[in-house]
Amino acid sequence: MVTWQTGAVLAIAVAVLTACGGSPEADAPTPDATPTEPSTETELPESAPTAAPQTPDADAEGAAKLLGDRIIEPGVRVGPITRDTSRADLAAQFGEEALEDGDIPVGEGFTEFGTRANLGPAESFSVIWVDESRDRPATVKDFGSDWQTPEGIGIGTTFAELEAILGPFQLYGFDWDYGGTIVLENTQLANYYGSLILRVQPSRTAAEQAGDAYLAVTGDRLFDSDNPSFDSLGITVSEMIVYLNPPTQ
């Protein structure tokens, strides 16, 4: 598995080669282009000349800084991933070996074709594409714990922290496919409505120990966040879905 740091080094190498005479087409591969997998060899053949050390230029340093960004701006970007990021761009940014294409669960037993970036528990994410061309992301989901909105919402954010950020809110009861979904309308983050889905879940241990409280807030109906049954359930953010190219209504 290629780590986030390896992906960043590959991105820097691409930027340096481009500065040394690469073509514009190399910077912006077509959606159907298949990136070349990076070599895992560490030794050059005896006949190959040793290249002179390269000093990263300003563009390469900027790319490295961008790849270190874990900020989610719903509807706009997920770190370096924007509305126009393609599958080929992901390979250039994170390394082909870190990517895994396949069916990604989207709820109620359904899946969508997408790409998983396996960058470790803190940095990974999945992209679901608008169509088979894989040239635009529809949504980004399955985030690692490092990803956060500018307000500090990420996987593991507590219920109390959410209330401090959102103000009073409503959410759907637990124990069904869309259980724990937060209603962003009429909250401090109402501007994220349509571009961000937040879901919370209780701690399994807390739910078992406070069984009556858990049962009181289950099912396909809305509850106010100040319902006292939530207090003993150890609730945290369990899922974030970011829309970059929402479906046309």
Residue 12: predicted pLDDT: 37
Section 136-146 average pLDDT: 97
Same domain for 131 and 186? no
Section 116-132 average pLDDT: 96
Of the residues 115, 141, 167, the one at which a domain ends:
141
Residue 247: predicted pLDDT: 85
Same domain for 11 and 76? yes
Same domain for 114 and 176? no
Cα 203-233-231 angle, rounded to 5 deg = 150
Residue 113: predicted pLDDT: 94
Is residue 49 one of the residues assigned to a domain? no
Is residue 209 one of the residues assigned to a domain? yes
CA distance 89 to 198: 27
Section 57-77 average pLDDT: 67
Same domain for 103 and 188? no
Residue 108: predicted pLDDT: 83
Q: What is the DSSP letter of 74?
A: T
pLDDT band for 86, please (50, 70, 90 cuts): very high
Is residue 72 one of the residues assigned to a domain? yes
Same domain for 21 and 135? yes
Query: Residues, the chain, total?
Result: 249
For the full predicted model, state whether its pTM sits above 0.75: no
Q: Is 198 helix (H, G, I), strand (E, B) or coil?
A: strand
pLDDT band for 23, please (50, 70, 90 cuts): very low
Question: What would the pLDDT profile of 152-172 be if each residue is shown by its tens digit?
Answer: 999 999 999 999 999 999 999
Same domain for 134 and 181? no
Same domain for 11 and 63? yes
Section 207-218 average pLDDT: 94
Q: Is the model's pLDDT at 3 over the cut of 70?
A: no
Domain count, the chain: 2
Tell the burial category of 117 from Cβ atoms under 10 Å away from its Cβ (0-12, 13-18, 19+).
Answer: buried
Amino acid at 231: D
Same domain for 87 and 181? no
Same domain for 69 and 188? no
248: how many CB neighbours lie within 10 A of its CB? 4
Q: Is the model's pLDDT at 228 over the cut of 50?
A: yes
Domain limits for position 193: 159-243
Same domain for 204 and 235? yes
Query: Pairing between strand 182-183 and 196-201?
Result: unpaired
Of the residues 141, 168, 199, the one at which a domain ends:
141
pLDDT band for 249, please (50, 70, 90 cuts): low
Is residue 50 one of the residues assigned to a domain? no
